[in-house]
Chains A and B, each alone.
Chain A
Amino acid sequence: MVELRDIHKHFDAVVALHGAGLTVAPGEIRALLGSNGSGKSTLIKILAGLVEPTGGQVLFDGAPVHIRNGRDARSLGIATTFQELSLIPMMSVRDNILLGNEPLARLGLVDRKSADRRIEELLDRFHIKCDPDTYVQALTPSVQTMVEVAKAVAQNPRLLLLDEVTAPLHYDEVELLFGSMRELAAEGVAMIYVTHRISEVFTICDTVTVVRNGETVAQGAVGDFSTDTIIYHMTGQRPEAAASHAGSETGGREGEPMLDVRNLELLPKAKDLSLKAYKGEIVGIGGLEGQGQSEFMRALLGATPFQGGEIVYDGQPRRFRSPAAAVREGIGFISGDRNREAIFALRTVEENLLAGKVAKGRLFAYMSARSIRAFARDAVGKYAIKIGSLRHAANSLSGGNQQKLVVARWIAMSPKLLLLDDPTKGVDIHSRREIHQILRRCAQEGMTVVMSLSETEELLDNADRIYVFYEGHVNAVLSGAQKTPEALAAAMLGMSGPGAADAPSPSGPHSDSLSGRSISRSIPGAPSPSGPHSDGFPVASSPGFPGAADASAAMSPATGGGGGKGATP
């Protein structure tokens, strides 16, 4: 139905696409894969009418078309869900879903009644529990994503482009989405599905297209591919033999902990979090999404205040009032939300590398150009960051290299304690591995690393000990032989994992609540308010398979962050 032929696109001097192609037939779900900066999103944007290709042809139903804008795309029957969402935060769910598509009544007025009917239908279809009058900015990310999907489906498209939709979704929402996708496919809608979760490809897609450096390097039916071949095509390298699974078992644990968090209370997410991290150790934090990991990290850094408990850092109880205070004391923070929280896209590579150094010290001290340059050149060499020139803007780099830039920025400062909040989110596998290698090296040199990761495999591979957060508590601490995918998945779902006994002994009344909660949650399906679609709870029944572990990472015991509000009883 749709064919992209030999597409080229360059933004001034930067080449984004260089001979990429793609076909998709009615009823087909095609996976579009590639590492960051490979041009997937640009391809999607060309079909959505947001980017004008500089060369190549777009064929629709066999005839060449020119998609000049969103209107053209819509009239061809192309609907898109964007990775960064196309919802307007200050408008209501209703207005967003029907935007550009409002039913009209007499005199050009918008027909509120039929609008309401359609909205109700759509919200029901995707089990979105929210008031259609709610502003989108007041929704949780997962609900926003579902609204984005509903918005695309509302156009009754012939071709649906899904760009990284599942990243913020809960497990049951993903299932729901896949269900809808299958329905749509049965109706003959063609879909292009972009994802980083390779396991999903085998669940939902019929065909695969892999792009690398703006070129299509592989296409075919999904049966012809395996995880390994996909990774090979994406990176151009054979995946190395599985990295040592064990991590370093010896890492520290003697003497005083560098970081000792006791019963940290952070309303509303975290109620009682305790954690110890020793010198030279990589402590991992796992858990379902939104169990207080990010808040925990930010509280350690002083970016958000905490209500109760104590943070002992380097032997002294501390309560940092701002990140600046924490940084002064030798703490570094790396966020996985690169574009929003870490990278200075307009500034040069050099300045990005220097950002850590710049943050510390006297405000009006002289910084010589030569020392700055030497510092940056050193970092680039040490961390193998691929750059054109130190003077190029950071946004000329690929996502993986940008993240390495951010990591290097802090490691070069050799902080005593490095906090990382999902540092490899949206980073390609190759860079991911390099980042972990760098972190391991730093730990061996005596740095304390506390890192939350959403990917369970990665967590198991790279952390010495894993604290599993569940509903604002530490549900389990896994180390050594306990670090198995089964144990991790179980602990993430709130079952008292094998490591629960190992958890730092909670003091006072908390101990009751901890064990009590663990028991009550050990029957996961039952108390879940997730409604009719909670039946597919696999409870880590096939934990050996990485895909399953991955999926369970996204699983949520309580669905629809939007809950409560406006729900029909």
Chain B
Amino acid sequence: MNTKTKPTPSYLLASARQALGRFHTSPAFAGSMLFLAALVLNAALQGPASFFTVKNINTLFTKNTPFMLAAIAQSLLLMTGTMDISCGVQMALVNVVVIMTGQEWGIPFPLSCLLGIGAAILASLLCWVCCSVLRLPALLASYALTFVIKGVNVMIMSVPQGKVEKLYYKAYDSQIFGFIPASILGLALVLLIWAYVRRTRLGTHMYAVGGNQRDAFAAGISPMGVQLKAFLLKGFIIGAAGVCLTLMTAAGNPLQAEDYGIRSLSACIIGGLSFGGWGTVGCAISGAGFLVLIQNSVYYFFSMLVKMIPGFSVTSYYQNFASDLLILLGLLMTMVTARGQREALRRDIVRQLKTGIGLRDQAGTPPPDGAAAGAALAPPPGNGTGPENTDAPAFDTLSAPAVSTSAARTGLSDGAGVGAAHTKEGMDDER
């Protein structure tokens, strides 16, 4: 894109401002800001020296990849206008299938992983039948399924047992080249798949079905079919999450991870997704990151207090209380930001009407505002690709696909042009 226009300083500045405005009004904005805040808080409380170590980052990823994957899976369903709070027990299902097929039938680990993923896809299909085919309210149907799947889990494995060969869980905990956590691979794989899907018809159709089923149907899309594909994709991702969970715990437990279902939903909402057709996978990642880091921060905050104040002791009850309270505050923050975005959108419609009626002289909004508002109209930012995304999901989620555009449009002063809005400069400027 830059080849088309001369990169004069003023142009770069303008495009940086556009990018900033665009980011400011994207659905991922609130979530990524929260994530960033949590990151800073966590690093500060833990001490940057000990936070930014390969070991610590590695631990963060090994412990939280399953949850992040669950949030990503959930976000796909939210985009398609449905949800599944039985995600958590489905992960446990993968866990028990992987462990038991290995233990009882002597199937090699990689193969039993595939079986586990298959089980997750089956469970997802069941949920699809309830939500899309039978058209039950997704929340209640998936709640009911939670019982069914939990029951099945216990049927397969009655008590926690089994183990994973050392080779595999060591590999999961290890670092590639000494600094890239191996657990990222799962995340990267899923994000790559999604980056592909987003660019196919299915990607658009998912948003369309989430936005309005009837309209999508009228456009020749089968909402049921699109939801089926979304559920299959989600089943696969949950399968991957379950495998990661198994590698992380290196044991089997039929009754674990149930709360991942609801928590992944919370993560998505905090990240800025809303029910039906709004938000990106980046939202889910930053939301999940926020939840994780806040819990971490609270832990380090209390241990700092314990260190600083002699004789001070605290139970985990306080920690849980504080982190849940912060999560609630995070939710409120998301909504406040979303409201600001709506306001920007409204301002822009007003501006259109104004220019339409010819009251431009009365327009009281200074250009930067206009730019921000204009950017509200940007397409949903593409979803992050590649492993670097997980390092700073907040920003890389915005490295959207290039938008071909005419120079005339980018030249417009009111900032609605597309231009080089997605360039890195804009992001760095924001930072």
Known contacts A74-B219, A131-B409, A138-B348; 13 additional CB pairs below 8 A are: A70-B217, A86-B212, A88-B211, A90-B211, A91-B277, A99-B221, A101-B219, A134-B416, A267-B362, A267-B364, A527-B358, A565-B355, A569-B411
Known A70-B217, A91-B204, A138-B377: A112·B401 in contact at CB below 8 Å: yes
Which residues of A from 184 to 235 have beta carbons under 8 Å from B?
none
Give the contacting residue for B403; candidates A48, A82, A133; CB below 8 A: A133
Query: B351: which A residues are within 8 A, CB to CB?
Result: 564
Give the contacting residue for B222; candidates A71, A139, A564; CB below 8 A: A71
Interface residues as binary, A269-295 with B (CB distance below 8 Å gives 1, 0 otherwise): 101000000000000000000100000
Q: How far, in angstroms, from A99 to B353 measured CA to CA in the complex?
A: 27
Query: In the complex, how many angstroms separate the beta carbon of B426 from the nearest chain A beta carbon?
Result: 16
Give the contacting residue for B220; candidates A69, A134, A557, A558; CB below 8 A: A69
Contact in complex: B362, A90 (CB < 8 Å): no
Give the contacting residue for A562; candidates B277, B350, B352; CB below 8 A: B352
Known A471-B357, A566-B409: A90·B278 in contact at CB below 8 Å: yes
Which residues of B from 172 to 229 have beta carbons under 8 Å from A?
196, 199-201, 203-205, 207-208, 211-212, 214-222
Contact in complex: A99, B376 (CB < 8 Å): no
Interface residues as binary, B368-411 with A (CB distance below 8 Å gives 1, 0 otherwise): 00000010111100000000000000000000010111101101
How many chain B residues sit at the interface, stated as a range, is 35 or more
Query: A558: which B residues are within 8 A, CB to CB?
Result: 356-358
**Cβ of B359 under 8 Å from chain A:** yes
In the complex, what residue of chain A is closest to B209 when comparing beta carbons?
Answer: A88
Contact in complex: A562, B220 (CB < 8 Å): no
Q: How far, in angstroms, from A223 to B239 measured CA to CA in the complex?
A: 67
Q: What are 30 A-B pairs at a CB distance below 8 A? A: A69-B222, A70-B220, A70-B221, A71-B220, A71-B221, A71-B222, A73-B220, A74-B219, A75-B220, A88-B215, A91-B277, A100-B205, A100-B216, A100-B221, A102-B201, A110-B203, A131-B416, A131-B417, A133-B377, A133-B378, A133-B379, A134-B377, A137-B345, A139-B352, A290-B353, A529-B358, A557-B358, A564-B360, A565-B374, A569-B408
**Cβ of B13 under 8 Å from chain A:** no
Contact in complex: A74, B220 (CB < 8 Å): yes
Contact in complex: A268, B359 (CB < 8 Å): yes
**Cβ of B414 under 8 Å from chain A:** yes
**Cβ of A108 under 8 Å from chain B:** yes
Contact in complex: B208, A88 (CB < 8 Å): yes
Which residues of A from 500 to 539 have beta carbons under 8 Å from B?
527, 529
Contact in complex: A99, B208 (CB < 8 Å): yes
**Cβ of B354 under 8 Å from chain A:** yes
In the complex, what residue of chain A is closest to B274 when comparing beta carbons?
Answer: A90
Query: In the complex, how many angstroms separate the beta carbon of A96 from the nearest chain B beta carbon?
Result: 8
Contact in complex: B356, A560 (CB < 8 Å): yes
Q: How far, in angstroms, from A557 to B358 measured CA to CA in the complex?
A: 9
Interface size in chain A (residues, C-beta < 8 A): 62
Which residues of A from 69 to 94 have beta carbons under 8 Å from B?
69-71, 73-75, 80, 82, 86-92, 94
**Cβ of B54 under 8 Å from chain A:** no
**Cβ of A178 under 8 Å from chain B:** no
**Cβ of A561 under 8 Å from chain B:** yes
Contact in complex: B204, A102 (CB < 8 Å): yes
In the complex, what residue of chain A is closest to B373 when comparing beta carbons?
Answer: A138
Query: B405: which A residues are within 8 A, CB to CB?
Result: 116
Which residues of A from 126 to 141 have beta carbons under 8 Å from B?
131, 133-135, 137-140
Q: How far, in angstroms, from A104 to B201 measured CA to CA in the complex?
A: 8
Q: How far, in angstroms, from A561 to B377 measured CA to CA in the complex?
A: 16
Query: B376: which A residues are within 8 A, CB to CB?
Result: 135, 138
Contact in complex: A566, B416 (CB < 8 Å): yes
Query: In the complex, how many angstroms separate the beta carbon of B228 from the nearest chain A beta carbon?
Result: 15
In the complex, what residue of chain B is closest to A521 when comparing beta carbons?
Answer: B358
Of all A-B residue pairs in the complex, the 3 with the closest CB atoms, nearest first, are A564-B355, A88-B211, A100-B219
Known A102-B201, A110-B200: A91·B211 in contact at CB below 8 Å: yes
Contact in complex: B350, A99 (CB < 8 Å): no
